[in-house]
């Protein structure tokens, strides 16, 4: 919901950092993979309830997620890079929830609901993107992307905020997961509505 507006604030800093990385010969895919590995470290950390360290891994993962796109635009963006970026993002999001459930099995039902909701947002996002490409529908409202980004109530910023809240307020996980999961289903429903009006 807020991604397009926030990009205007963070893109200048990301572009400056990307320029330095490009000069050092670092590729966007290297940044993507490095960020993913760091993000995956949150799973065992959440499993042992080290929420502060897990939060750091989550924030570093999201930083690299912004950097890889900026770096790709300064070098040579590839279809594989776009594929890798979005695939690892969805694995990371679900991985954080899975890690929390490992450490708190009594809360696993709420984690399952949240991952269930991620399936709705992820599948509707990717399906629309594929069909938008087929029809030549494009947008740069969220910056130049390798695939079409259909927005919604829950986007990258809202997801990041939720993952941070899970680490900062683990005792409220059930509420956080229920509220955000419900918001994800609203996003899925609105994307279906958009598809019904644009893809017929």
CA 77/CA 71 separation, integer angstroms: 8
CA 119/CA 151 separation, integer angstroms: 16
CA 179/CA 74 separation, integer angstroms: 38
Enumerate residues 6+ apart whose C-beta is below 8 A from 28.
68, 69, 71, 72, 75, 77, 81
89 carries an active-site annotation:
yes
Catalytic residue among 3, 68, 85, 89: 89
SS3 24: coil
> How distant, in Å, are the alpha carbons of 32, 76, 140, 159 from that of 166?
23, 36, 31, 11
Strand partners, 143: 141
SS3 141: strand
Dihedral pair phi/psi, residue 2, rounded to 5°? -105, 0
Active-site positions read 89
């Amino acid at each position: 919901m807020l991604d397009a507006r926030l990009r205007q604030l963070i893109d200048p800093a990301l572009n400056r950092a990307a320029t330095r990385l490009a000069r050092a010969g670092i590729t966007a895919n290297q940044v993507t993979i490095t960020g993913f590995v760091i993000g995956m470290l949150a799973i065992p950390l959440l499993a042992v309830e080290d929420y502060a360290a897990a939060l750091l891994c989550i924030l570093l993962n999201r930083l690299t997620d912004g950097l890889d796109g900026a770096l790709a635009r300064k070098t040579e963006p590839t279809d594989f890079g776009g594929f890798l970026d979005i695939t690892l993002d969805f694995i990371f999001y679900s991985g954080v929830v899975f890690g929390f459930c490992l450490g708190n099995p009594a809360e696993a039902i709420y984690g399952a609901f949240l991952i269930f909701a991620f399936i709705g947002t992820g599948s509707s996002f990717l399906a629309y993107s594929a069909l938008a490409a087929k029809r030549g529908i494009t947008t740069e409202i969220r910056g130049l992307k390798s695939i079409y980004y259909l927005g919604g109530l829950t986007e990258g910023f809202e997801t990041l905020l939720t993952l941070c809240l899970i680490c900062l307020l683990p005792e409220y996980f059930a509420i956080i997961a229920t509220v955000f999961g419900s918001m994800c289903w609203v996003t899925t429903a609105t994307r279906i509505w958009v598809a019904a009006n644009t893809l017929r």
